[in-house]
Structure 1
Amino acid sequence: MGRLFQLQEKCLQAMGHTGGHENSIPDGKLSLKHIVSLAFVVSAQYPLISYIVYNSEDMEKVTACMSVVLTNMLTVIKITTFLAYKQDFWRMIQRFREMHQQSNQRNVDGDGYGYVAAANKVASMLGRAYCVSCGFTGLYFMLGPIVNIVASKWRGTTYVRELPMPMKFPFNDVNTPGYEVGFLYTVLVTVVVVAYASAVDGLFISFAINLRAHFQTLQRDIQNSNYALPERETRAALRSAVDYHVELLSLSKHLRDIYTPIVFGQFFITSLQVGVIIYQLVTRLDSVMDLLVYLSFLGSIMLQLFMYCYGGEIIKVESLKVDIAVRLSNWHLASATLRKSLAFIILRSQREVLIKAGFYEASLANFVAICRTALSLITLIKSIE
């Protein structure tokens, strides 16, 4: 079994971040290379906005560039959040690894249920799939101009060279060497965006899936508790379960706190992106290639949003199920004192653990709502036309 969060850590290492080893936590200091990576992505806004200003009378080009501008803004939010909470991210990674090792030891001793081990496999699979998806989306944009240049030479036609992203530099970016410089700049920006998105988004869904597994383990511990045993043994088992529950609630709150800016940005910016891309789709129905590009881009940003909504949903659902686990246990065999403790667990479990930011809540219901809005926009734009 691979190391927990290995893929995400490799992406962060590629961006110059050093992960924690064993029980060590990296310091929260930011080096020049971290600040440079953020400034580098922020700098991409200038050629993007310049492109919008230069083509302000062409709505098709403006909307095409707006979707890229919004994506870049979202990446800036993710990088800034990670840098601001850098030490907290590494601390959570380290704590989940410790809990994962404890779970593996329980499996060896015969006291585990395999939830955490299975969650690690699922999280690793989703992390790889998401990283590949982001990589292929970026690669698709990078290869597009190259394919067009090769195709035009093969057909013997004239082709005006275009950059992978809609950008307008303060130099001649059509002819050599300006075009090559602009192309290389775009590639480097894309690499940074893909690496940080794969790391930050991948960590969130991995944290959420592992939290679900630990909540499931807690539920089984409570449900399988034998309250007919001597009170001393029962009290020790219940104390362990309460401590476990408190830690999971604390980790959930910490996850919500450090991801608050990202969740807000993800919902707000994705809502804007959906409107822009839907407009592009509806107005370019006659071009198969454009439809493929826009559908690919729409699928990519909706996948990002889905990961946050799915992660928030499973944490909310599993935290509520702790209440059900207590009710399904043989609580009626417990003493009056222990029943009061179980009642407190029930009361706390009835409060949903929500991953939210402002009025945005990461849940599948909100994801479906945005999908419905997208369909409504299609109908509205078609009726206006």
Structure 2
Amino acid sequence: MGHSQEPDSSVGGALSLKHVVSLLFAASAQYPLIHNVVYHRNDMELATAGLSVLLTNLLTLFKIATFLVYKQDFWRMIWSFRRMHQQSSGRNAGDGRAYVAEANKVASLLGRAYCFSCAATGLYFMVSPILKVIANSWLGTTYVRELPMPLRLPFNYVDSPGYEIGFVYILLVTIVVVTYASAVDGLFISFAINLRAHFQTLQRDIKDTDFALPEQEMQEALKAVVNYHVQLLALSKRLRVMYMPIVFGQFFITSLQVGVIIYQLVANMDSVMALLVYLSFLGSIMLQLFIYCYGGEIIKVESHRVDVSVQLSNWYQASPKLRRSLTFIIQRAQRDLLIKAGFYEASLGNFLAVLNLKTLIRSYQSPLVPLTDMSGCLIVYNSDQID
């Protein structure tokens, strides 16, 4: 009783020029960002400030490239969920409709909220230099204009018109980064929430199945349940394959970003505004990681609960042959359905491990050796510099 999914004829999986141009345009910012980090290699504070933006742009490149590689699979997933939503809407059972319809509402709401959050973060960094220029002009103080993003462009970007050209370039890069990051992350959480709803619908179907029905009717009902389960497992596997590079990049780069931002927080403890900026940036980064960890967690939990739904049903009224079929459902449901990449598993447990700031600070401070100069002021040197 297997299930094979054929792509819908209306799937728009062909690569378009605008997506390739967006990838190349976002990649063009890597060299100026790397140049800025190398240029300030002797100033740890400026280097880490540029490194955090560099890692954010690099992560977005991962997401854009993955989207282009698996664009057809993304469209197949979207059309599969649309078709399944139509099928669930045509059922007589109200519970099935409620699960999927509510999931679509929640996914749409979270997707919009996350998009607005990313847009607000990008807007803040774009508007901040403009507000500084206006404030200093109003106060009559001298102010060196800064670009919204710490990078070094291959032309004079301090004076006009170079500054305006650089500002527009960064604005366009920010729009591309925010658009693709919010779209790819939003699609993942939407897929995960819809999968959870369909797993819950499957659980309800199993618990409501009357195993005292005649043999022929019971076989048809069980066949529909197994086909539904196999379809959900296939969609979960496709989701894992599609997002494997992104999950790996999200965990790896987020771990580096958190370490960099922790350094910035420690180095700017006396500046309230700097703390607010870096804390908001840290929150934005952790929100991205939370989306993947939460999505992976709910898929794992709901797939396991299929086993529980079989045990809560009136399986004892089924014939011995059907009971053996139910054991296959139980055995498959007991296998972990994980969203992972290598040794990184998208789960709330791993999210809390990354969020453990005490461990991060200890691991960050371990390679640092404190020394005190003649005046008693605390100076921190890296251990490899002492050697």
TM-score by length of 2: 0.91
- Helix, strand or coil for the counterpart of 1:226? coil
Matched, 1:218 2:205: no
- Helix, strand or coil for the counterpart of 1:170? coil
Q: Which residue pairs with 2:10 in the alignment?
A: 24
* C-alpha deviation, 1:72, in angstroms: 0.5
Q: Which string of whole-angstrom CA distances, capped at 9 and with x for unpartnered residues, describes residues 110-168 of structure 1?
A: 57351011111111111111101100000010011001000000100011000001011
Call closer, same or farther: CA 1:368–1:329 in 2, change over 3 Å.
same
Q: Which string of whole-angstrom CA distances, capped at 9 and with x for unpartnered residues, describes residues 186-213 of structure 1?
A: 0000000111011100000000000000
Structure 2 unaligned residues grouped into runs of 5+: 1-7, 371-379, 381-387
Letter paired with 1:93 = I
Q: Which residue pairs with 1:81 in the alignment?
A: 66
* C-alpha deviation, 1:318, in angstroms: 0.2
- Helix, strand or coil for the counterpart of 1:280? helix
Matches within 5 A, 1:25-174: 25-28=11-14, 30-106=15-91, 110=94, 112-174=96-158
Letter paired with 1:83 = L
Q: Which residue pairs with 2:294 in the alignment?
A: 310
Q: How many angstroms apart in 1 are the aligned matches of 2:227 and 2:183?
A: 30
Matches within 5 A, 1:218-237: 218-237=202-221
Q: How many angstroms apart in 2 are the aligned matches of 1:320 and 1:58?
A: 51
Q: Which residue pairs with 1:376 in the alignment?
A: 359
The Cα RMSD (Å) is 1.6
- Helix, strand or coil for the counterpart of 1:39? helix
Structure 1 unaligned residues grouped into runs of 5+: 1-21
Letter paired with 1:266 = Q
Residues 25, 91 of structure 1: 8 Å contact kept = yes
Q: How many angstroms apart in 2 are the aligned matches of 1:324 and 1:377?
A: 38
* C-alpha deviation, 1:106, in angstroms: 1.7
The number of equivalent residue pairs is: 362
Residues 88, 96 of structure 2: 8 Å contact kept = yes
Residues 37, 47 of structure 2: 8 Å contact kept = yes
Residues 50, 150 of structure 2: 8 Å contact kept = yes
Q: How many angstroms apart in 1 are the aligned matches of 2:299 and 2:132?
A: 46
* C-alpha deviation, 1:378, in angstroms: 3.0
Residues 13, 75 of structure 2: 8 Å contact kept = no
Identity over aligned residues, as a percent? Answer: 69
Residues 96, 204 of structure 2: 8 Å contact kept = no
Q: How many angstroms apart in 2 are the aligned matches of 1:72 and 1:354?
A: 27
Which portions of structure 1, spanning 4 or more consecutive aligned residues, are displaced by more than 4 angstroms? 379-385
Q: How many angstroms apart in 2 are the aligned matches of 1:304 and 1:104?
A: 32
Q: How many angstroms apart in 2 are the aligned matches of 1:111 and 1:123?
A: 18
Residues 259, 364 of structure 2: 8 Å contact kept = no
Which deviates the most, 159-168 or 96-105? 96-105
Q: How many angstroms apart in 1 are the aligned matches of 2:243 and 2:271?
A: 39
Q: Which residue pairs with 1:296 in the alignment?
A: 280
Matches within 5 A, 1:212-361: 212-361=196-345
- Helix, strand or coil for the counterpart of 2:90? helix
Letter paired with 2:126 = M
